[in-house]
Structure 1
């Protein structure tokens, strides 16, 4: 379910993850209530879908963090283990329902290949751990990359997805306890753990915001900027001449001082580039090469300077700290306090008290 129609491709993979995970969880009640006896065609489906969980988790995070990314053939290479398992299971899956039921209730006198079963048992566990780590690293990189294009990151930092991954990790640990550790107190709490985890997974999924609400052209630019930021310095493209770079630096500084564009709490890289009649690529180059900073730091530094003025202004003495934050262009008190202290070494209230004491 994606009622808000946001992050379409990312939610496509997230849907595959949740469907596969849900079907895997159903294996236990199906066995307990003899569901497989009533519906033999369901036999083997949960095992097959379990191999789709880990790669779909990773691809979901990839698409959440990559603006403008299109579905590619290489994405499906992650499903090679699933394909191999499918090919192995095909002879069984094409059996009739009666044959499957017979095989379920009458074990074969010829034991199956023990090595294949052992390999499959461990591959799915290793796959889940490896892809979870890759997804988490991708998410951490995203939280750094969005500072290249946004001055306010609360709504696009995918914190909900980070929580989502931690909940999944808890469910995996419950699963591993059942398979390997057999700690009794954890086993007792496992059903409750699965229920609560499922609830929070759905909750975090449904409250997501659109990550990159830009036109397709801007999404392509943003994706290229992010990819370039991860390249070595020697591979950076020289997008502007030295003369043009200096000219744009002067213009950008002037417009920040004269027009106070930073007061717009929703200001982002494409918006500012449009106001200066240059591309997002060029503006990113000016910030990186001309000022040695990223968009987030550049804009919020101006906001901090504005906040300093407001904190000492008699005209604004009636405002509390949240009011000061909003007046300076910050969208939340948390970001205001964090970045102010990072820049000045003092909290806003400490700065106000210290400077006023010095003046007196």
Structure 2
């Protein structure tokens, strides 16, 4: 047992003996560990990406709701796995003869597990909000009328009523306003405008922000005020989304177009 399991000396193992069987299990467990690590990391990345896509279909402000940290920690988890494999290959005998070297894997794994727990506890609970009951309130007479077409009413809700200015706007709020359910609205936005709900709302918010930035009346106001008026949850979210759409920050956009202020 000491020769095979502790010192990891697997040369000339006789699988017909009890120590040989233990050595075989020893090797098999490490192979299973490596395969399991690869499979789970792939699943974690896939599920986190699916989650982020789903969030974009439900919420206009996704701060604290996305799980990008899971993907980032998965990369760290891969590093953990590589380190664990390396430590396993070194074998128990190495650490038996080098007691202080145990600090390396101990500190490494403890730090990673702490980050996973910390980030997990910081994640906002959104599942109850996501899977709310959908209301099938579509009125056929309203839907069949050209002037009350769902697309027309949706555009009116955003362009005239400016519902995008609601800070925590959700697709369920839009559904209630239009007397329809999420499936219809989501499909309409995806098919007709080729974007998800989050992108659709942010398009209007950025357009509103651009008007505010180029208004001399609003030139004295801070970015916090403009972000709030446009419907963004924070200045950080406002700056990030604005740069994604316009290719520049709100501040630089205002400076560049100062001559166009009205």
TM-score over 0.5 (shorter chain)? yes
Confirm or deny: 8 A CA contact 1:246 1:290 kept in the other structure.
no
RMSD (Å) for aligned C-alpha atoms = 3.2
The 5 A counterparts of 1:166-185 are 166-180=75-89
Are residue 200 (structure 1) and residue 115 (structure 2) matched? yes
Q: Provide the rounded CA distance (Å) in 2 between the counterparts of 1:271 and 1:181.
A: 58
**Which residue is 1:158 aligned to?**
67
Are residue 143 (structure 1) and residue 40 (structure 2) matched? no
Are residue 263 (structure 1) and residue 168 (structure 2) matched? no
Query: For 1:324-360, what per-residue CA distance to the aligned partner results, in whole angstroms no more than 9, with x for missing partners?
Result: 1121101122321222123223321222122222469
Q: Provide the rounded CA distance (Å) in 1 between the counterparts of 2:81 and 2:24.
A: 24
**Which residue is 2:125 aligned to?**
210
Structure 2 CA distance for partners of 1:181 and 1:328, relative to 1, 3 Å = farther
Q: Provide the rounded CA distance (Å) in 1 between the counterparts of 2:121 and 2:150.
A: 42
Structure 2 CA distance for partners of 1:115 and 1:219, relative to 1, 3 Å = farther
Greater relative contact order structure (CA < 8 Å, 6+ sep): 2
Q: Provide the rounded CA distance (Å) in 1 between the counterparts of 2:229 and 2:78.
A: 41
Stretches of structure 2 lacking an aligned partner (at least 5 in a row): 1-16, 137-142
Confirm or deny: 8 A CA contact 2:134 2:181 kept in the other structure.
no
Confirm or deny: 8 A CA contact 2:45 2:70 kept in the other structure.
no
92, 105, 117: which is aligned to 1:190? 105
**Which residue is 2:223 aligned to?**
321
Structure 2 CA distance for partners of 1:282 and 1:186, relative to 1, 3 Å = farther
**Which residue is 2:233 aligned to?**
331
Are residue 340 (structure 1) and residue 242 (structure 2) matched? yes
Q: Provide the rounded CA distance (Å) in 2 between the counterparts of 1:245 and 1:188.
A: 72
Give the drift of 1:152. 1.0
Q: Provide the rounded CA distance (Å) in 1 between the counterparts of 2:210 and 2:24.
A: 68
Q: Provide the rounded CA distance (Å) in 1 between the counterparts of 2:114 and 2:24.
A: 37
What SS does the corresponding residue of 2:255 show, helix, strand or coil?
Answer: helix
Q: Provide the rounded CA distance (Å) in 1 between the counterparts of 2:257 and 2:55.
A: 34
Confirm or deny: 8 A CA contact 2:44 2:71 kept in the other structure.
no
19, 23, 30: which is aligned to 1:111? 19
Q: Provide the rounded CA distance (Å) in 2 between the counterparts of 1:194 and 1:346.
A: 40
Confirm or deny: 8 A CA contact 1:151 1:299 kept in the other structure.
yes
**Which residue is 2:11 aligned to?**
none
TM-score (norm 1): 0.57
Work out the number of aligned pairs and report it. Answer: 233
Structure 2 CA distance for partners of 1:323 and 1:163, relative to 1, 3 Å = same
Give the drift of 1:151. 0.9
Give the drift of 1:162. 3.4
Q: Provide the rounded CA distance (Å) in 1 between the counterparts of 2:161 and 2:233.
A: 19
What SS does the corresponding residue of 2:128 show, helix, strand or coil?
Answer: coil
Query: For 1:223-243, what per-residue CA distance to the aligned partner results, in whole angstroms no more than 9, with x for missing partners?
Result: xxxxxxxxxxxxxxxxxx997
Give the drift of 1:251. 0.9
Q: Provide the rounded CA distance (Å) in 1 between the counterparts of 2:135 and 2:158.
A: 26
What SS does the corresponding residue of 2:133 show, helix, strand or coil?
Answer: helix
Structure 2 CA distance for partners of 1:267 and 1:152, relative to 1, 3 Å = same
Stretches of structure 1 lacking an aligned partner (at least 5 in a row): 1-108, 222-240
Structure 2 CA distance for partners of 1:246 and 1:118, relative to 1, 3 Å = farther
